[in-house]
Amino acid sequence: MPTSKPAPDCAPAALAPDPFRQLLDEVGAFVYTTDLQGRYTYANRLVLELLGHALDDVVGKDTTHFFGEAGNEALRENDARVLRGGETIAREESNLIMATGELRTYWSLKKPLRDAAGNIIGMLGISHDITEKKRLEDRVRKQKELLDTVLDNVDALVYMKDTHRRFIYANQHVAEALGQPVERIIGRLDTEVLPREVADKFWALDQKIFATGQRHAGEEALVDGDGRWRHFWSVVVPLSAPDGTPAVIGLSTDITELHELKEELKRQASTDALTGLANRRSFWERAGHEFARSRRHGTALSLIAIDIDHFKRLNDSFGHLAGDRVLREFAACCRDMLRDGDLCARTGGEEFCVLLPDTDLAGAMHIAERIRALTASLCLDDQGQRLRVSASFGVASLGAGDEDFDALFARADRALYGAKQQGRDRISSGR
């Protein structure tokens, strides 16, 4: 910033004749010259207003007279580099005004003044007051730091994307979810940081929001940096980016644990706790759907009804723990013999049903025989006693006259009764 007074052979008028002084007073910058001792030799109107003195009171005095010794060490060091070292410097400087105690900030250009022989005789300085700009920048920086702190500690993924699928902002939670640092996400396309299929799905939603201007809320899922599926409740809203262009901002709360709990509760509600097979309620729900599908598409549907032979006697003789083991082993036999689309359910104490979509009677009889043979081969050891297990099977397939699934079930149940009447450990069909 401003400094002092010319040597006797360098009068202020020579540096700035009257027509030029008027020009320098209107340039909107602080313009000043000093001698080798740092004493002012010229100061334009803005410098004089800052110092609160007329030119005659300023010329011949150095900066310490107006700014004091304390707080301006860096400024005097810069002046020394110009006056003694002949450097030209352009940098930010701060002045502590002694009269008011105010700290002002400037962008200053300082260069040495030389005589005809090239000797340094003083310094020319041009300074622009950027105090308010710096204050604004500091406020913006502090606000950004505060906002980043808040957004990084909000328990959600927060991001912003533009109309070109490019990330404008991402908080630390987004970086952790994607397994990449924030700086590698911002400015990149969604397809560069997400699997293509996932990115395209999100982009389709973004396009809808851009087109309608309506917010979206719903559940979403993606694979995180560790390869684990994570589930989020996301709210995505349209807004303008900092440059005024359309953008979307998303806030996604991790609900993975809640989703897994919901799925587990759903599984428990539809699963037999002892065997891990479907329970009676879920069996009848699926049976109704498969019956309707078979009727709609004209496809086959078969059912196997099963009872474990003499199960009550086994329980009475060996105890309920042994009985539970038999039920689990039998369930394993059924699972081993079924396809992915088949459904095996425990529908009662020792009662089971196997639902076979797209399977005719002959195919169902074959599956029933495989389960029967595997069951008959079981030989369980219970405290030194060997338990033999067998089961009876009733098989039926969907007929043209069946008005609902109950009709199919009734025929399979009658066939099961027939197998038990015929001596058990066998298969009977109900046409």
What are the backbone angles phi and psi of residue 225, rounded to the nearest 5°? Answer: -65, -20
- Stretch (H or E) spanning 12: helix 12-15
Determine which one of 93, 220, 290, 350 is catalytic: 350
Q: What is the pairing mode between strands 391-397 and 427-430?
A: parallel
Tell me 184's DSSP state: G
CA distance 389 to 309: 7
For the chain, give percent helix, strand, coil, nearest 5. Answer: 45, 30, 30
CB of 414 closer than 8 Å to CB of 307:
no
- Its sign, for the CA torsion 184, 197, 233, 168, is positive
Is 132 known to be catalytic? no
CA distance 108 to 81: 14
DSSP-assigned letters across all residues of 362-378: HHHHHHHHHHHHHHHT-
What are the residues whose beta carbons fall under 8 Å from the beta carbon of 389, sequence distance 6 or more? 308, 309, 326, 329, 330, 375, 376, 378, 380
Among residues 87, 123, 86, 89, which one has the least CA distance to residue 7?
123
Q: What is the pairing mode between strands 351-357 and 301-308?
A: antiparallel
Alpha helices in 249-386, H assignment, sequence order: 256-270, 280-297, 311-318, 320-337, 361-376
DSSP-assigned letters across all residues of 37-87: TSBEEEE-HHHHHHHTS-HHHHTT-BHHHHH-STT-HHHHHHHHHHHTT--
CA distance 127 to 31: 7
Residue 232: Cβ-neighbour burial (10 angstroms; 0-12, 13-18, 19+): buried
Strand partners for 307: 351, 392
Annotated catalytic residues are: 350
